Amino acid sequence: MSAINQTATDIGPQTARSHQGNITIQDLSIVFGSGRSSFVAIENISLDITSGEFICIIGPSGCGKSTVLNAIAGFTHPATGQVLVDGQPVQKPGGDRGMVFQQPSLFPWKTVLSNVAHGPLMAGRSKQAALAIARDFLQIVGLANFENNYPMTLSGGMQQRVAIARALANYPRVLLMDEPFGALDAQTRFMMQENLLRLWEEFRITVIFVTHDIDEALLLGDRVIVMSAGPGQVIEDIRVDFERPRDADLLMDTRFLILKKKCFSLIKKESLLAFEQQKKSSIQKAGKHN
């Protein structure tokens, strides 16, 4: 029980960050490669994300969903435009923007506890404080009993919960999630979605969640951003105002199905367009070879 009280005291003051995590993306374009082999991944994307919003990004594969996340994380640099996090332009990756990847990407040589304590340690906290924070977050994701396990002894879903705890332990301004549940089986994915919603309702941290699953996007998000392919652009910014807390029943709701149909037809159109483009460019290439 003391652990729970401690959770409240340790995490309480930090939620003062709740007014942080405003993200502004202005005319962002990202180009990979250079010269003739260059490739425009995303073009002129502008988005305003308010502190505490849950944003889902969907779109056909190859539309640059992940590139947007990588630009916010600081892994890729804009060709034009900029990304501002609380007014500051993003220069390079940092602990203030937590990220959860499709693969859990835990450090296999560290215990679950040390994995979660890594961020606080890097932020300069004492070992004792870092471990205390790590224990709190493991408790929150329901893995307190596994702190001494090594990652490879856990299931995929449990590993991903550790990865979420590890990202949150840094008290980031924003949590970036790149198809985090894409590799999990349907039951586990469903449980993870519900857990994530509960966590988010507790912390009210800004979340940007990339997925190719329309159900997932509509179940989780306050807004669903639909992107087009080649080059990636925002074609629709859908407000999803179903009341919270949400659960699985929502999937059968008529309003849900209407939005789902809308998203589906947008993505279908874009996927077909992208397919045509790929076909055309491969025919052009073949023509050049002849």
Partner 1 sequence: MLEKSTIFDRLTLFLSIPIFLVIWEAISRAEIVNPVLFPPPSLVAVALYKWAVDGSLFLDLWMSLSRVIVGFVSGALAGVVIGILTGRYRLFSNLLTPLFQLLRPIPPIAFVPIVILWFGLSELGKWFLVFWGVFFTVWIAAHLGVQKVDETLIRAAQCLGTPDKKMLREVLFPASLPYIFVGLRTAVSISFYTLVAAELAGTFSGIAYRIDIAQQNLQVGQTIGGLVILGIVSAVADRGFGALSKRLVWWG
* Total binding residues toward partner 1, as defined by CB under 8 A: 29
The span from the CA of 250 to the CA of 257, in Å, is: 9
The amino acid sitting at 106 is: L
State the distance between the two ends of the chain, measured CA to CA, in whole angstroms.
Answer: 74
**Residues 164-183 interacting with partner 1 (rule: CB under 8 A):** 166-167, 170, 176
The span from the CA of 185 to the CA of 66, in Å, is: 21
Q: Is the peptide bond before 231 cis (omega within 30 degrees of 0)?
A: yes
> 3-class SS at 247?
coil
Question: Toward partner 1, which CB reaches closer, 135 or 223?
Answer: 135
Binding of partner 1 by 123 (CB under 8 A):
yes
Question: Toward partner 1, which CB reaches closer, 100 or 266?
Answer: 100
- The pattern of x and - marking residues 46 through 85 that bind partner 1 according to CB under 8 A reads ---------------------------xxx----------
Binding of partner 1 by 118 (CB under 8 A):
yes
Binding of partner 1 by 17 (CB under 8 A):
no
The span from the CA of 44 to the CA of 116, in Å, is: 36
Longest dimension (CA), the chain: 74
Question: Toward partner 1, which CB reaches closer, 92 or 285?
Answer: 92
Binding of partner 1 by 91 (CB under 8 A):
no
Do the beta carbons of residue 288 and residue 247 sit within 8 Å? no
Question: Toward partner 1, which CB reaches closer, 75 or 242?
Answer: 75
User: For residue 95, how many other CB atoms are within 10 A of its CB?
Assistant: 16
Kindly state the smallest distance separating residue 276's Cβ from partner 1, in Å.
Answer: 32
Q: Which two tokens stand for residue 84?
A: 């501002």
Residue 115 contacts by C-beta under 8 Å, 6 or more apart in sequence? 106, 107, 151, 162, 166
Binding of partner 1 by 40 (CB under 8 A):
no
Kindly state the smallest distance separating residue 86's Cβ from partner 1, in Å.
Answer: 16
Question: Toward partner 1, which CB reaches closer, 123 or 235?
Answer: 123
Which residues contribute to the site for partner 1 (CB under 8 A)?
73-75, 92-99, 101, 103, 105-109, 118-119, 122-123, 150, 152, 163, 166-167, 170, 176
